[in-house]
Amino acid sequence: MPVSNSGAGGGDASPLSAEHVYKYRYYSFFEHVYPLPSHAFLHPETTRERCREGKVDPALGYAICALATLHSGPDLQTRDRATAWVQTAEQRIWQHLESPTIPRLQALLLVVHYQMETGKFQRAFMLTATAARFAAALRLNHERPDLDPVAQEVRRRIMWSLKITERYFSVGLPEFEACPIETIYLQFPSAEGEFSNDGGPCDGGCYRLYVRLEIIRRDIMKLTRGVALCDQPFPPLTKLIGDVERDLAEIGSLMPDGTADFSFSRLQAHYHGRWLRRRLFIHISFHQAHCDLYRILLLNYPEAAPRVVLEAVDDGAYVTSAEQGCLRHAVAIIQILTNLNQLSTRPLLLEFDTAICAYHATRLLLFISRAARVPGCPSPEFAASRAALCLAALKRFFPSSALVKPIIDDMERLTRGHAPQEGGIGGLSSPEFQEGRRNLEQQLSDAAKARQRLAIHSLLRQADFTDEDDGDGYSSSMSTTGMSPVMTRRTP
């Protein structure tokens, strides 16, 4: 049964046979894209068998081919082919909008990732909400013990991958959550060896641990946003930080390589393994969780708790230890990426979160080196040299990613000694923008403005949504800025 574009609402995509999917795109997708935690929701053997038999869902077949093609080459012809396929996949999904199925939801998630990677953030945001509706209609947030283990695990992985994707838009803001964690009644994902059964090496439970770290980092971000609103001391802060430290220690005890630095020699030992990237991802995420947690206590840092909260923490050694922890974990992130760049003979496809962690690690290292408050603090010159190495790694691993471009641009500013970008991306210094920003911010309470600050890497910030009518002059003036005024403040 061929996968063709007949009836798809357009003739832009060439007919795609199941044999083509299997021979030319299946291997590429599962070898290069599937190891990313946000993409790990297809069952390799089942998908392969359906492709071989010509029974793969048409939308899913096109979506797999589109994403595999997008990541196989940056040339314009390759991208045009991938764009045609992803458009066909999306058209087929819309044709059956009222009849969600697991394969159509999987296809929709791949379409979301394609739109994110190519800079169509508004569309990706709206499609993510549609995917959440699909998941709710299929009740994927609940366990189904009556199903076979593979079907149960596919359902779990779809939901957890959707949560990972949703976090890229706005972490810690409940008003933008399409799948609140409080409504997900699922186990964490199984180890790869229990899921794929392809006879290959297991990932050591890295995907499962990555999801657990995602939840902890989300909780830390919610704590950060909550503390930012305090105008008086917050006595429970140190206890809450201690609780998170214990959760992280438990995860660290389960990491297949331990919590020690992922050294160059260890990287070499795993370099040719299929799951190298997942091992890297959990180490980087583990270090970032500590950075997110300890920077709350980093006086004068943009994401730190207000001064009134920090001055009430009467243990100076505790605060100093937190700053040293920030430094240690930030340096570890930068070292991992520097080692990977040095060892790699070709660019590797990495999770978007890798760039986010690199960005925050660089900011922390530069800030701490300039503040010079803790023993053993590196010099600003050394910190700048490490930041430059980290930036070089991002440029190599994300050479044409619309997702990562704002991060790279701001890191270039940081390495030149400038402050992090506050205004955002392109054109934001225009008088029209500044006037529009002031007008809209006057309508928001201080609490709302504090809560809705978005990071330079937030895709919601890049999506440029406004609450104005299409015909309004103000809205038109904002269409060229790349961002709406409410999105002009930076947060985790």
User: What are the residue boundaries of the structural domains of the chain, listed by start?
Assistant: 18-196, 206-415, 433-487
CA distance 38 to 110: 10
pLDDT in tens, the chain (492 residues): 345 443 334 444 555 665 665 566 888 999 999 999 999 999 999 998 888 888 899 999 999 999 999 998 766 777 888 999 999 999 999 999 999 999 999 999 999 999 999 999 999 999 999 999 999 999 999 999 999 999 999 999 999 999 999 988 877 677 888 888 999 999 999 989 889 876 667 888 999 999 999 999 999 999 999 999 999 999 999 999 999 999 999 999 999 988 777 888 889 988 888 899 999 999 999 999 999 999 999 999 999 999 999 999 988 899 999 999 999 999 999 999 999 999 998 889 999 999 999 999 999 999 999 999 999 899 999 999 999 999 999 999 999 888 999 999 999 998 887 555 543 322 233 333 344 444 444 544 454 454 456 666 566 666 666 666 565 544 433 333 333 333 333 344
CA distance 33 to 41: 11
CA distance 93 to 79: 21
B/e letters for 141-173, b = 16+ CB within 10 Å, e = fewer, are beeeeeeeebebbbbbbbbbbbbbbbbbbbbbb
- pTM of this prediction? 0.86
B/e letters for 471-480, b = 16+ CB within 10 Å, e = fewer, are eeeeeebbee
CA distance 297 to 301: 9
Q: Is 327 exposed, middle or buried (0-12, 13-18, 19+ CB in 10 A)?
A: buried
